[in-house]
Structure 1
Amino acid sequence: MTRCSLLAFFALFSLISVAEPSHLVQPFSTATTLNDSWEPLEFPKIDRHSQYQLVTDGDAQVVMARADNSASGLIARVSVQPGERLILSWRWKVSNVYEAGDARRKSGDDYPARIYVAFEFEEDEAGFFERVKRGAVKALFGEELPGNALNYIWANRLPEGEFVANPYAEETVMVAVNSGPAQTGQWVTVERDIVADYQQAFGKAPPAIVGIGIMSDADNTGESATAWYGDIRLEFTPAGQ
């Protein structure tokens, strides 16, 4: 996905309405449609869109995503102060990884499954050109762009546990929570401490979380994959537990 598309992602992301307080992140398992609290995200310069639908897998309703030389996502806006410890958990499954996938290269910046966590923009810490860029986006879209972002990815070459800056945008850090083909075709449960991950990625405590997104894309590699996403949960826990 290009840098232009990343900016479009965040600009369009900021226009999505806030979910009801009782549904911080709308569970896929109880959704009647994907329009309940999630919205499709399509990029202006990418004509082929990944497909998302609610399906039953085993005894649970999940989202199935199909990427075929394509890119698009589902997004939901939230407003959460992370505090000292905020746990993000989910389960997912992929059919395969991409042979040409490589999180360190623009040509390999595709993932059969990923989860975005977008954070509030901290204007006081931004440079002049960053403020100008964001001012232009606000003038165009009428909304502020989010700031930094964590991308939890099912990687190909990047070792599990590795953090790297996105090759298109250094304010987005990719975190390999799964890597390689060993667990393809299996449901895998992931749990991450967002506060600790943000501190490792950006060297400071995180500001407010403004959104969560899922995305399966293959527009750079031209490959294809199917992914399944279970419910995404955010849970505050006391430090030390």
Structure 2
Amino acid sequence: MKRTLTAALILAATTAAAGPVSFADWKEQRLKLFGSNDYSFGQTLQMSSNGTVSIAWGRVPQGDWGATQASWTWDVTEGVPPTDLSKKGGDDRNLAVYFVFVPQDAAAGLASADIKALLGRSDVRVLQYAYGGNNAVGSVLPSPYGTPGTGVTIPLRQAGTGSHAERVDLTADYARAFGGTPGALIGLAISGDSDDTRSTIRAAVGGLTLN
């Protein structure tokens, strides 16, 4: 009986850990002094952007720092026109999902850092998956922002509208983008970007799961 109860508790804990990420405790980081997106945080993140840009972000529990895959659904009912995601100042996109990695030996010390501080570090690596642009799906585009070599954008959907389910291999994409194996996944973020085209985004992300 004791073994059965222990096994049940382990199974329950494993199942809970594999559940979708909650956005309830996420925060917004403005990228410009005036203007930002509007977010609604809960089990689903809803976002509207009207010629604006900002990032919503959250910390990853330590138990998920070693995640190697991720999945989510995103829905766009109104979006920006096609852009070149490799061009600084002209790279609007409907949605982007960020995965923020730091060296294993630095993870504990950076676990409480905010997204702005993390994105400014030379030892941080960021995989950013995008819904938008006119670049080839699956291509690895060096980020035109920040320290060269620290971030990439991987388009999963070109500009348009609709609902889609995604599943990504973080380990494989990290190797393609940066070489080697990823460190600790300590941060997640989602952004919408419509400031360059002065357009409008209505979108949502849900079911974000790490495993």
For residues 46 and 112 of structure 1, what CA distance do their matches in structure 2 show? 21
Q: Are 2:193 and 1:205 equivalent residues in the alignment?
A: no
Using the TM superposition, give the Cα deviation of residue 222 of structure 1 relative to its aligned residue in structure 2, in angstroms: 2.1
Q: Which residue identity does 1:176 align to in structure 2? A: P
Using the TM superposition, give the Cα deviation of residue 163 of structure 1 relative to its aligned residue in structure 2, in angstroms: 0.9
For residues 164 and 20 of structure 2, what CA distance do their matches in structure 1 show? 20
| Contact kept in structure 2, 1:88 and 1:194, CA below 8 Å | yes
2:29 to 33, 41, 61: 41
Q: Are 2:58 and 1:76 equivalent residues in the alignment?
A: yes
SS in 2 for 1:187: strand
| Contact kept in structure 2, 1:106 and 1:220, CA below 8 Å | no
Q: Which runs of 5+ in 1 are unaligned?
A: 1-21, 29-33, 56-60, 125-136, 236-241
| Contact kept in structure 1, 2:29 and 2:56, CA below 8 Å | yes
Using the TM superposition, give the Cα deviation of residue 24 of structure 1 relative to its aligned residue in structure 2, in angstroms: 8.3
Report the aligned-residue RMSD.
2.9
Q: Which residue identity does 1:189 align to in structure 2? A: A
Q: Are 2:172 and 1:193 equivalent residues in the alignment?
A: no
Name 2:193's counterpart in structure 1. 217
| Contact kept in structure 1, 2:104 and 2:184, CA below 8 Å | no
**Residues 1-241 of structure 1: matches in 2 within 5 Å?**
27-28=21-22, 36-43=24-31, 45-54=32-41, 62-78=44-60, 79=62, 80-82=64-66, 86-99=68-81, 101-121=83-103, 145=121, 147-169=124-146, 170=148, 171-181=150-160, 184=161, 186-235=162-211
Using the TM superposition, give the Cα deviation of residue 229 of structure 1 relative to its aligned residue in structure 2, in angstroms: 0.8
The TM-score normalised by the length of structure 1 is 0.66
| Contact kept in structure 2, 1:107 and 1:221, CA below 8 Å | no
Q: Which residue identity does 1:64 align to in structure 2? A: Q
| Contact kept in structure 1, 2:130 and 2:156, CA below 8 Å | yes
Q: Which residue identity does 1:52 align to in structure 2? A: Y
Higher strand residue share: 2
Q: Percent identity?
A: 23
SS in 1 for 2:89: helix
Q: Deviations along 1:181-219, whole A, 9 cap, x unmatched?
A: 2xx1x3200000100010000011111111011111222
| Contact kept in structure 2, 1:82 and 1:195, CA below 8 Å | no
| Contact kept in structure 2, 1:100 and 1:221, CA below 8 Å | no
Q: Which runs of 5+ in 2 are unaligned?
A: 1-15, 107-112
Q: Deviations along 1:87-125, whole A, 9 cap, x unmatched?
A: 10000011244225220111222211110101115899x
| Contact kept in structure 1, 2:39 and 2:48, CA below 8 Å | yes
Q: Deviations along 1:12-37, whole A, 9 cap, x unmatched?
A: xxxxxxxxxx6688644xxxxx5x32
SS in 2 for 1:40: strand
Name 1:130's counterpart in structure 2. none
1:122 and 1:103, CA in 2 relative to 1: closer, same or farther beyond 3 A? farther
Name 2:3's counterpart in structure 1. none
Q: Which residue identity does 2:203 align to in structure 1? A: A
For residues 148 and 192 of structure 1, what CA distance do their matches in structure 2 show? 16
Q: Which residue identity does 2:144 align to in structure 1? A: P
